[in-house]
Structure 1
Amino acid sequence: MFVSLGSIIGSGWLLGALKAAKVAGPASLLSWVLTALIMATLALIHAELGAAYPAAGGTARFPLLAYGVVGGFVGGWVAWLQAVALAPVEVEASLEYLDNITWIKENLNLLTPSGTLTASGFGWATLLMAIFTFINLVGVKLLSESNSATVIWKTAVPLITIVVLLAMRFHPGNFTAGGGFAPAGAHGVFAALPVGVVFALQGFEQAVQVGGEARNPQKDISRAIITAMVIGTIIYLLLEVVFIGALDPAALVHGWDNPIEKGSFGPYATLATLAGAGWLAYILYADAFVSPAGTGLLYLGTSSRLSYAMGRDKMLPKTLGKLSIRGVPVWSIVLSFVVGEIMFLPFPSWQSLVSVITSATAIMYAFAPVAMAALRKRDPDRPRPYRAPAPKLIAPAGFVAANLVIYWSGFDITWKIVIAIVIGFLLFLGGRLTMTAAERPAVDWKAGVWIAPWLGGQVLIGYVGRYGESGNLKVLPEWVDLVVVIAFSLAIFYWAVSLAMDSDKVKATVDREAAELAA
């Protein structure tokens, strides 16, 4: 539960409320509620899958079980892309926060005026990544113990912030200021999701990624996911309430474009100072380092479990699928460290990757609903310690929800993610050419044939849709666009479920995975 909660409460809590309010105004509260409903639906699906099929790198394994190597690779590749990017982004956020402290700015010289890492900053970032790598190499027990202390801190600080701002600085009139409750209408509510809201609430699936190393995964995974989601949702919703209420009413007279004078970093610290709680501002600046760093630690570990899963299934070099005597995937952890180091170069800020990570995460999440529906049909006798409620409703609803998030992320983001998936698939095909016929896993091409039309359709809808900063036509009328996405998603969902591998292949794959877990 702490692994999931520690992933949910990262840099998103410090930045999400400000980003959402600038896009949707007070109606950003609806953005959080909508996101909570979407994530809760997907969390329940992951809870069933994680309990029934516990294995390290679970989000890569679920599509593998239902759709074979092609589905497993695409789902695992997207999951790995978003996870491996998050550790360096959170480290970058930590350094950018620290750079606001005068002594550090003057003596350590972490960032250039444009916000990119200096040589010194890159050195400190590398040190943080090396520490994360060491903790993950030691094993999941140390990862869990080090994370537990961090999560207690990360949860306590937002709760203290909520109480202090409610008590000392709260203006109810702010909820109708600057153009009313919803100054940007429904479009603003939806557009707020990819700028930080979905990013903030994602992470519940991290319990699934390390689930194969849990003591009692059949019971622990579902409880961990659901509990973390409930706690995270309550905290984030209350944070948005106190953020809006604590703003200076004079700053909202002309709208929500700039609701707080100081920039993107440290908005709660600014509000705490205005409320006369300077002591809280110091705590918040400390947390501005601890929260992102703690989340980066977790994601370096979980991204390595994903590449481990693909290595074990021979979708990536098999070296990545080997475990040390401590039971950790050493080479996968090293790969996450190396790729994370490379990520520092083209992506120097937290903001630059939030929408990209959100879209990639939504694609990753979308595989779970179709996998759950397919596995219930193809593997009905498998013990399911936790069963998602109303599966015939929740599975298509989860797939539709994930596709809506992809659409709201914008065309300019979606086509880039799809290009990255195509590049990954070419690597997959190239890897198969280096294997002997005996090593090469069999591919059920028919089972995965729905993936290309699904992703291509999302790019096309995004191109004619209303969301994104550039490149699209914006010709689909408001609300009609949502109907198009929903109808398209449902058509793909039921087609995908019908194409799943037959029961014998599914059971053989599941039994092979279960034997690996038992070993």
Structure 2
Amino acid sequence: MSQEAADNAGLGTLKRSLGVTQLVMISVGATLGTGILVILGSAVPVAGPAIWIAFVLAGFTALLSAVSYAEMAGMVPVSGSSYSYSYATLGEGVAWICGWCLVLEYAVSAAAVAVGAGAYVNQTLEIFGLSLPESLAGGPSEGGIINLSALLVVLLATVLLVRGARESAMANTIMVLVKIAILIFFAIVAFTAFDAGNFAPLLPMGAAGVTGAASMVFFSYIGFDAASTAGEEAKNPQKDLPRAIMIAMVLVTTIYVLVAVAAIGARQWEWFADSEAALVQIVSEITGQRWTVLVFALASVIAIISVVLMTMYGQTRILLSMGRDGLIPRFFAKVSPKTHTPVTGTVVTGLVVAIAASLLPLGQLAEATSIGTLFAFALVGVSVMYLRKTQPDTPRTFRVPLYPVTPILGIAACLFLMFNLAGITWIVFGLWMIVGVSIYLGYGHRHSRLGAMSQTSYQQELEL
């Protein structure tokens, strides 16, 4: 649904207040830090010293999808990301599946990242000889009652999002600059203890270990598409969205590879098996200075808050689009005339994410998120090819290079990484899809706006 149609329906509209710099920061904020700060400890034992190759492989896969996102974002500049793209091209049923996958991508990844914040909070407290009570340091799966740190991170992000998109973007920009600074600081510190011998043997687990780790660390790239959820809040979406997505991808991949190489150079790969907050421990051991560890740990928490903030931002905008289309309750689409944000939808999302973050373990959340994201990314590649065939003359502010090779490779790479995930992840994904299809058949299909209009009318409303 377009802004004008949403306004006519009495749902309210979002405010165009974001420039290209803020859009880049949204994508970087939703992406940078997750894999390095949270997943690195579990991914290195899978790939060994070749973990940096796993980041390159995952980054290349994400880049293949990113160029498809860039083309679609310029053509369909509305909230909803790949959900809206699928709706406009492949129909409502496929769009629902895509949107349900995006719920897995954004809401669940926000919860997973918030869980990771707990490790850094505990590391910071240990500097002062303090620690959270066991009952508050982790959820039931970790022997506790609730992960208090994760809960507080999510609630803080919810408050910022309710205040407004512009305010959230400003806070995110500050946090992004902080985390870029601390990751560069880490690389400088780690390279002072660099030992090239730590890279031999490069592939102790073989090529299978690298591809398996690539599937895991693909979680690190979840969020690069966050700028595409800001289509209705961008000042010049047709030009700025493609630019923001591509700039964010290049920046994030470069930093990930730099930090991964520095980390392996500083410590043997076996060391990471027992490290939950690996980077802060490396800084502590190399510098031996409490103040550097304190600064790094605090900045790491800020970095994680930025990821949670922007992934939740993306989730609320996708739910807004799905609510406008009638597939979920309409209150998700209601925009406050005062703050120009979907307040009710944001609060509901925040509560659900807070419950998940405070009670569920990180590993299961991260891998389940990856499979849903890869599926959604593959659908964007299909959408690009569909529109190239059905509407070849429609103006495009960005065109996928080397078409059709690039989107085909992007789809194939996503499917390849999906099939490298563990069997239990597929079972969780299958159950998630069964729940999603049941909701669609029981509620979404009967309340859908598309039932009252043709697919062509929907495309015209999106100005395709």
TM class by shorter chain equals: 0.7 to 0.9
CA distance in 2, matches of 1:358, 1:507: 32
CA distance in 2, matches of 1:368, 1:125: 32
The answer to whether 1:219 aligns with 2:228 is no
Q: Deviations over 1:35-57 (max 9, x none)?
A: 12111111111011111111111
What is the deviation of 1:392? 0.8
What is the deviation of 1:112? 5.3
Q: Deviations over 1:266-321 (max 9, x none)?
A: 22222223323534322221123111111111112111111111111111122222
Is 1:304–1:335's contact at 8 Å kept on the other side of the alignment?
Answer: no
Q: Deviations over 1:131-171 (max 9, x none)?
A: 222221222101110100000001111011112221x2010
CA distance in 1, matches of 2:423, 2:138: 31
Aligned to 2:213: 192
CA distance in 2, matches of 1:317, 1:380: 35
The answer to whether 1:276 aligns with 2:287 is yes
CA distance in 1, matches of 2:220, 2:449: 39
CA distance in 2, matches of 1:69, 1:116: 43
- The structure 1 residue matched to 2:261, chosen from 238, 241, 250, is 241
CA distance in 1, matches of 2:445, 2:188: 59
What is the deviation of 1:260? 4.2
CA distance in 2, matches of 1:219, 1:434: 37
- The structure 2 residue matched to 1:331, chosen from 344, 362, 366, is 344
The answer to whether 1:508 aligns with 2:454 is no
The answer to whether 1:26 aligns with 2:49 is yes
Aligned to 2:333: 321
Question: Gapped runs of 5+ residues in structure 1?
Answer: 445-504
Aligned to 1:148: 173
What is the deviation of 1:207? 0.3
Higher relative contact order (CA 8 A, sep 6+): 2
CA distance in 1, matches of 2:399, 2:445: 40
The answer to whether 1:182 aligns with 2:208 is no
The alignment partner of 1:384 has SS state of coil
CA distance in 1, matches of 2:409, 2:452: 29
Is 1:70–1:443's contact at 8 Å kept on the other side of the alignment?
Answer: no
With over 3 angstroms needed to count, the CA separation of the structure-2 counterparts of 1:207 and 1:440, relative to structure 1, is closer
Is 1:432–1:440's contact at 8 Å kept on the other side of the alignment?
Answer: no
AA of the residue aligned to 1:52: M
Q: Max radius of gyration: which structure?
A: 1
What is the deviation of 1:7? 1.2
Aligned residue pair count:
435
AA of the residue aligned to 2:423: F
The alignment partner of 2:336 has SS state of coil
Cα RMSD, aligned residues only:
2.3
The alignment partner of 1:21 has SS state of helix
What is the deviation of 1:108? 9.6
Aligned to 1:91: 114
What is the deviation of 1:185? 1.0
Give the TM-score of the pair, scaled to structure 2: 0.88
- The structure 2 residue matched to 1:53, chosen from 59, 63, 76, is 76
The answer to whether 1:364 aligns with 2:376 is yes
With over 3 angstroms needed to count, the CA separation of the structure-2 counterparts of 1:15 and 1:320, relative to structure 1, is closer
- The structure 2 residue matched to 1:74, chosen from 77, 92, 97, is 97
Overall identity of the aligned pairs, in % = 25
- The structure 2 residue matched to 1:130, chosen from 151, 155, 160, is 155
CA distance in 2, matches of 1:344, 1:281: 25
AA of the residue aligned to 2:235: R
With over 3 angstroms needed to count, the CA separation of the structure-2 counterparts of 1:319 and 1:269, relative to structure 1, is closer
The answer to whether 1:442 aligns with 2:451 is yes
Aligned to 2:137: 111
- Segment of structure 1 superposing worse, 145-154 or 78-87: 78-87
CA distance in 2, matches of 1:442, 1:112: 46
What is the deviation of 1:85? 1.3
The answer to whether 1:63 aligns with 2:86 is yes
AA of the residue aligned to 1:270: Q
Aligned to 2:195: 171
CA distance in 2, matches of 1:84, 1:116: 24
- Segment of structure 1 superposing worse, 61-70 or 130-139: 130-139
Is 1:266–1:285's contact at 8 Å kept on the other side of the alignment?
Answer: no
The alignment partner of 1:324 has SS state of coil
Aligned to 1:342: 355
Question: Gapped runs of 5+ residues in structure 2?
Answer: 1-23
What is the deviation of 1:378? 1.7
CA distance in 2, matches of 1:52, 1:506: 17
